[in-house]
Amino acid sequence: MRKRRKKKRAQEDVQLNLAAMLDMAFQLLAFFILTFRPAPVEGQINLNLPPPVAIRDMNAQQAQDDDPDVGPASAHTLTITIVSAGNGQVASMTVGLAKLFDGPLDGSRLKMLDRRLKDVFAIEGKPFEQILLRVGKSLNYGELMKIIDVCTKQKMADGKPVNKISFIELQEK
């Protein structure tokens, strides 16, 4: 019994030195605080960019569509031409062959583009499957993204969203 009591007392007296553990814990904490970077609030627009050779020029496609011997085109492409101003803003925009507006892009012009695209994609018998953006060299990525945003909101005749968008560089003088 005496031995047992002695053993119990010895176990009760054991005290861990927490200071060393606390030092280590503070070092770990300092590392995590210093390397902590909150994730930015980012979103993305998913696109399938077809290979460059598969994209056809709209005039060539128009000529092919009109030719009864050639038959219907495999992928109907709607061309949007965006001419850029020197400052990276939009100078003018043309949807198909019709000019939409002249001047920089703003909210009302984006709505105008949205309405026009909705009208174009609603036309029966001419199912567009992809959009070809002919973009001026100096157009800013920010401005381009606003236009892509409007394009990806459109739906094709079968109800699927438009995600086949291709780009070519507009040869500006």
If the CB atoms of residues 93 and 139 are measured against other proteins, the closer one turns out to be 139
160 touches other proteins by CB under 8 A = no
CA-based nearest residue to 121, from 66, 168, 59, 76: 76
By CB under 8 A, how many residues form the interface with other proteins? Answer: 45
Token representation of residue 65: 């569509």
String of b and e for 119-157 (b: at least 16 CB within 10 Å)?
Answer: ebbeeeeeebbbbbbbbbeebeeebbebbbebbeebebe
Residues 68-87 interacting with other proteins (rule: CB under 8 A): 84
44 part of the interface to other proteins, by CB under 8 A: yes
**One residue of 45, 60, 70, 123 binding other proteins per CB under 8 A:** 45
Nearest to 139 by CA among 67, 91, 71, 95: 91
104 scored as a contact of other proteins (CB under 8 A): no
β-pair type (98-102, 130-136): unpaired
118 binds other proteins (CB under 8 A): no
**Residues in 134-153 at the binding interface with other proteins, rule: CB under 8 A:** 135-142, 144-146, 148-149, 153
Is residue 63 a contact residue for other proteins (CB under 8 A)?
no
